[in-house]
Amino acid sequence: MGLGTSRNRRRADARERRENLRGAAARHAPWVARALAGLLRASEAELLKLANLSAGQNLFALDASAAERAMASHPWVKSVRITRRFPGGLSVEVEERAPHALVVLGSLYLLDGDGQPFRRAQPGDALDPPLVTGVDRDAYAQDPAAATARIAGALDVADRYSRAPESRRARLSEVRLEPDGGLTLVTAPGQEVRLGEGDYEAKLSRLWRVRDELQARAMAADLIHLENRVRPASVAVRISGQVSERSPAR
């Protein structure tokens, strides 16, 4: 009963937030039919100001494309769609960016799910996503598309790791892009897992088996190598300054 009450309260709070946003949008511009209802970090006032929209504007004279571009310049906005609703209405639909990770590009930036850095991280962000490192700022500036593709690939591997039930034993804290094109995972306890490049699903499966074996032996590893291209099933493990090599069951 208590759980149901809490869930109902959360739903009521969400409805109240939506109603407050709609009310604020109506106060700023009564002709806005639906504006920014789900937005959390970019207020309706900020976006209406960016687009230079105000009550009483002539809908025929409105440059909707320019208004969309202006709103899309807000760092938290991923996409905007503005539609005229004649005779006197305007619909504004906004998709907000969701921070999936942090990336080091000289400074610390927030990354969306597509691997795009969209805003410099601020102390008040209170976020704790994985950190993507190994991205050269100059290389990013020279070829942002290629760098973004690598970052997006790293985020995909991080997501696969975090979705697995086995990841609860060691939360992922860093994904490092290596100069040779490979990836290294670093967990919150400090364990490094060198994945190399490609075949990530199989490598993560081997990682879970290696950790199970180590746990059964009451052992812990500082470093796990899964990037052996010559012997893909081979895993090298560094334990207390020593290196042991094993070939886990496929």
pTM exceeding 0.75 = no
CA atoms within 13 A of residue 147's CA, in its CB half-sphere: 19
Q: What does the pLDDT read at residue 223? A: 95
Write the pLDDT tens digit of every residue in 192-205: 999 999 999 999 99
Q: Are 135 and 222 within one domain?
A: yes
Q: Which H or E element spans position 183? A: strand 183-187
Q: Are 126 and 59 within one domain?
A: no
Q: Are 145 and 78 within one domain?
A: no
Tokens matching residue 61:
């004279």
Q: Count the domains in the chain.
A: 2
Q: Are 206 and 233 within one domain?
A: yes
Q: Give the residue-averaged pLDDT of 123-128.
A: 73
State yes or no: pLDDT of 18 exceeds 70. Answer: no
Q: Are 105 and 76 within one domain?
A: no
Q: What are phi and psi of 77, to 5 degrees?
A: -95, 125
Domain boundary among 54, 78, 96: 96
Name the residue range of residue 237's domain.
101-246
Q: Are 79 and 120 within one domain?
A: no
Q: What does the pLDDT read at residue 25? A: 31
Q: Are 225 and 123 within one domain?
A: yes
Q: What does the pLDDT read at residue 213? A: 92
Q: Are 225 and 130 within one domain?
A: yes
Domain boundary among 62, 96, 130: 96
Write the pLDDT tens digit of every residue in 60-69: 778 888 888 9
Write the pLDDT tens digit of every residue in 29-54: 333 323 333 446 788 888 888 888 87
Neighbours of 177 (CB within 10 A): 20
CATH number for the domain harbouring residue 131: 3.40.50.11690
Q: What does the pLDDT read at residue 93? A: 87
Q: Are 118 and 238 within one domain?
A: yes
Tokens matching residue 184:
């290294």
Domain boundary among 96, 118, 146: 96
